[in-house]
Chain A
Amino acid sequence: MRPSDPMSRKLRVSGIFVITGLFVEALCLVWSKPIAFVVLVCIGGALIGLGVLFFLYSLVFAAPHPTDPYRAAPDKF
């Protein structure tokens, strides 16, 4: 898999969302103010959720591998 592949790009985007969300979560956990919970859910949760959803999206719409036995066979007729 080359870094310029569409799948690689999607994984990177997904990973960046997840990492940003995780850092927001880590900050909220050490920040003992009532607003931390709201920031954790609204910003951290949203970023992590976006990253996870984008990862799932990239799996569903990934191009089949050339050696994949289940990919659609060409029409013989």
Chain B
Amino acid sequence: MPTFAIVILVLFSAVLAGIVVVRPAITASRAGKILAFGVLFFLPLFSLVAGMQNEMQRSESTAFCLSCHIMEPYGKSLHIDDPSYLAASHYQNHRVPADETCYTCHTDYAMFGTFEAKLGGLRHLYIYYLGKPPLPQDIKLYKPFNNRECLHCHLGARSFEQGATHNADPATLPAIKANTLSCISSGCHDVVHNVGRWGDKVKFWEGGR
């Protein structure tokens, strides 16, 4: 349901509840009782659930993640005009949905991945408003990036399974799949966001804005 439709529903519910508040006598009739049940029980709960669902969906958007000031350089890194930057090449070539870029890579593709991501978001909020937020370049992942998140899309893909580097050593591909050799380990796909280490020569892609 679009946000404006939920806002209209919420305001409509509030107006109806206002009628019951101003004229409680209307609840004496059977129709009035049904109205009271609708506007003081059903509609508020429905509006609340719809609103929460909308907010949960919005929290998955790239714009939502980048609305925190501290995340600005990470948003900027998506526009770096250099294919060796992993996040930028995924974003610019739509290997991940452009409007859910952060969420797609930073959510565990496990049973409670979404739930854990939301809890992590609450932790970020706590640190942002009540704690001492680190500098953007000092932000670290809570735990090492799991290859499972990459393999969710790349497993079975020809470029991954038959890639020259992946097959140069017969032990490499099984090690990647078993998460014993990280995709973003040194010498492989280790340039991800690299915030704070761009230098002066970095160029930015102007498209996709």
Contact = CB atoms under 8 A, between A and B. Distances in A.
A28 B121 CA distance: 17
Interface string B89-104: 0000000000000000
Interface stretch (B13-21, B139-147, B192-200): B13-21
A18 B11 contact: no
Give the size category of A's interface with B. 35 or more
B41 A52 contact: yes
Contact of B59 (A18, A19, A34): A34
A19 B18 contact: yes
B36 interface: yes
**How many B residues are at the interface, by size bracket?**
35 or more
Contacts of B73: none
Contacts of A33: 67
Contacts of B14: 18-19, 22-23, 26
Which secondary structure characterizes the binding site on chain B? helix
Contacts of B175: none
Contacts of A38: 122, 125
Contact of B51 (A11, A15, A44, A49): A44
B47 A15 contact: no
Nearest to A21: B44
A11 B24 contact: yes
Nearest to B118: A37
Contacts of B64: 32, 34
A52 to B, nearest CB: 6
Contact of B21 (A7, A15, A36, A40): A15
Closest 8 CB pairs of A and B: A15-B21, A8-B24, A55-B40, A22-B14, A37-B55, A1-B28, A11-B24, A26-B10
